[in-house]
Amino acid sequence: MSNHNPIISILENLESNGVKFEYALDKIIKGVVKIMNNTEELKEELLGYDDIYQTYVTDADFNYWLEVSDGRLYYEKGVNPQALFKINLTKDLIIKIFREDVSGTDAFMKGKIKVEGSLSQGLRYIKLFRIFEKYLRKRNGSK
């Protein structure tokens, strides 16, 4: 099997059919949430991550938030005023992160990602995506 990231394959396919970035990202996130909530080993990984994580994709006018509560992941488009952790980034940067051209941590250190919230919240936010990516790679036979 290829080491190609399955998330970017979905994004590339949707973009090549003329579908807007926002629609593609929404579909990816919904898929991630469904898999994480329906896979026992992933649900267990979510325990202790309870919080609301707000994301602003600044150049796409696309905002969404994720809430982790009691081992379940919830996703909604829009803004949640209760979110104490907020991240601002561009759609180009999201694609680069999905493609693994740049790490989210590196982008943050270079000032390309703006964050409001505590360091522990930021580390949990990063870990959420790493848990899912690790699961996808394992499931697709990649390392």
6-136 belongs to CATH 3.40.50.970: no
Q: How confident is the model at residue 27 (pLDDT cuts 50, 70, 90)?
A: confident
Residue predicted with more confidence, 114 or 142: 114
pLDDT for residue 21? 82
Distance from C-alpha of 28 to C-alpha of 11, rounded to nearest angstrom: 8
pLDDT for residue 143? 55
Q: So where are the chain's domains?
A: 6-136
DSSP, collapsed to helix, strand or coil, labels residue 53 as strand
Degrees, nearest 5: CA angle 103-109-67 = 65
pLDDT for residue 135? 72
Distance from C-alpha of 114 to C-alpha of 87, rounded to nearest angstrom: 6
Residue 1 has pLDDT above 70, yes or no: no
Residues 93-125 pLDDT 10s: 888 887 788 888 888 889 999 999 998 888 888
Distance from C-alpha of 142 to C-alpha of 131, rounded to nearest angstrom: 14
State the DSSP H helix or E strand holding residue 66, giving kind and residue range, or none if neither. strand 62-69
DSSP, collapsed to helix, strand or coil, labels residue 73 as strand
Q: How confident is the model at residue 14 (pLDDT cuts 50, 70, 90)?
A: low
